Amino acid sequence: MRGLKLVLAPERIPHGALRLNQGAWIIMYGLVALGLGLFALTFWFAVARPVKVLPRIAPLPAFALEDQYGLPINSNDLLGRTVFINFSYTRCGEDCAAQREQLVALREQLRAAGRLGSEVLLLTISFDPERDTREALQTYAAQLGADRRSWRFATGDPVELKALIGGELGFYYGQPDANGTIKHDQRVILVDSNGMIRARYAGERLHVQTFLRDIELVRQELGSSGLMRQVYEASHLFLCYPD
């Protein structure tokens, strides 16, 4: 009890122990102000979201397929470039028209900007390997006016395709019906140069303007360094994703 009294009663405290000089007060209130300032800054960052990033959804699952010339194409070959992958089949008509149109538009825009091939690659994976032979894929590529450096068409073993598209990525496609039509989800994914899936497009967002915006977002983020790099990390932390 005596010890407690000694602490609580100011007159018993040795002279000067609690007497902070003016500088110490300035430092103390300065720290409080700094704390509140940091809080306000964090709050503003999380609400106003001045820096946007694309979420790191998942690493692209490993795969080994063959392209329209019989060349092997696997998930590692895609590293170093931004890749748009869509899942379709060559006989898909009206159902896939919108998706095809957007990808062709993207190709045209990128070609005009000189970024096609070197920076951005398009990959169409067909889930109908039985009908989509090399010749069928080559014909399809020619119809779309795709050149082999920038837009590849791949397919492979049905079991592997099902495990990749349905099992790993969670996109549905069914069995071909009597007309050879396959019911499937319309999906495009964006894979960054580190092999990370950064966006999944469906519905209205499956649009060339969204593609171009996202290419730019990924380029800026992966090209950043120093403080800006940390700011991008903070954006991931606060889930500052674009609409």
- Binding to other proteins by residue 166, rule CB under 8 A? yes
Please answer whether residues 137 and 128 qualify as being in contact, where contact means their C-beta atoms are separated by less than 8 angstroms: no
Q: How far is the CB of 35 from other proteins (least distance, A)?
A: 7
- Binding to other proteins by residue 177, rule CB under 8 A? no
CA distance 158 to 126: 10
Interacting span for other proteins (CB under 8 A) from 23-31, 63-71, 97-105, 213-221: 23-31
- Binding to other proteins by residue 186, rule CB under 8 A? yes
CA distance 122 to 83: 6
- Binding to other proteins by residue 98, rule CB under 8 A? no
User: Could you say which residues in the range 196-225 bind other proteins, by CB under 8 A?
Assistant: 200, 202-203, 205
CA distance 41 to 84: 36
Q: In this structure, what is the dihedral angle of CA atoms 108, 109, 111, 113, given to the nearest 10 degrees?
A: 160
Residue type for 9, please?
Answer: A
- Looking at residue 226, the DSSP 8-state letter turns out to be T
For other proteins, the closer of residues 131 and 236 by Cβ is 236
The tokens describing 182, both together, are 């396959």
Among 63, 87, 140, 171, interactor with other proteins by CB under 8 A: 171
The tokens describing 230, both together, are 């940390």
- Binding to other proteins by residue 10, rule CB under 8 A? yes
User: Could you say which residues in the range 34-63 bind other proteins, by CB under 8 A?
Assistant: 35-36, 39-40, 43, 47, 55
Look-up of token digits 């009890």? 1
- Binding to other proteins by residue 32, rule CB under 8 A? yes
CA distance 147 to 122: 10
Name the residues that contact other proteins, by CB under 8 A: 10-11, 13, 18-20, 25, 28-29, 32, 35-36, 39-40, 43, 47, 55, 162-163, 166-167, 170-172, 174, 185-186, 200, 202-203, 205, 239-243
